[in-house]
Structure 1
Amino acid sequence: MEFQSSVKIVTEWDIVAARQLGRNVSKDLGFGTVDQARITTAISELARNIYLYAGKGQIHIEKLDRSTTRGLLIIATDEGPGIPDIRKVMEDGYSTSGGLGAGLPGVKRLMDEFSIESNVGDGTEIKAIKWLR
Structure 2
Amino acid sequence: MSDDSQRLPVTTDQDVVRVRQLVRTVAVAVKLSLVDQTKIVTAASELARNTLVYGGGGEVEVSRVQNDRRAGIRIVFADQGPGIIDLELALTDGYTTGGGLGLGLSGARRLVDEFEIDTEPGKGTTITIVKWCR
> Counterpart of 1:45?
46
Amino acid at match of 2:11: V
Deviation at residue 70 of structure 1 after TM alignment: 1.0
Q: Measure, in 2, the Cα distance between the counterparts of 1:43 and 1:4.
A: 15
Structure 1 unaligned blocks of 5 or more: none
> Counterpart of 2:85?
84
Deviation at residue 65 of structure 1 after TM alignment: 1.1
> Counterpart of 2:120?
119
> Counterpart of 1:97?
98
TM (norm. structure 2) is 0.96
Q: Secondary structure at the match of 2:89?
A: helix
Deviation at residue 61 of structure 1 after TM alignment: 0.8
Structure 2 unaligned blocks of 5 or more: none
Give me the identity figure in percent. Answer: 41
Write the deviation string for residues 51-94 of structure 1: whole angstroms up to 9, x where unpaired.
Answer: 11111101111111112111111111000000001000000000
Amino acid at match of 1:97: G
Deviation at residue 46 of structure 1 after TM alignment: 0.6
Correspondence 1:50-89 to 2 at 5 A: 50-89=51-90
Amino acid at match of 1:105: S
1:35 corresponds to 2:39: no
Q: Which runs of 4+ in 1 moved over 2 A?
A: none
Aligned pair count reads 133
Deviation at residue 32 of structure 1 after TM alignment: 1.5
Q: Measure, in 2, the Cα distance between the counterparts of 1:28 and 1:52.
A: 29
Q: Secondary structure at the match of 1:54?
A: coil
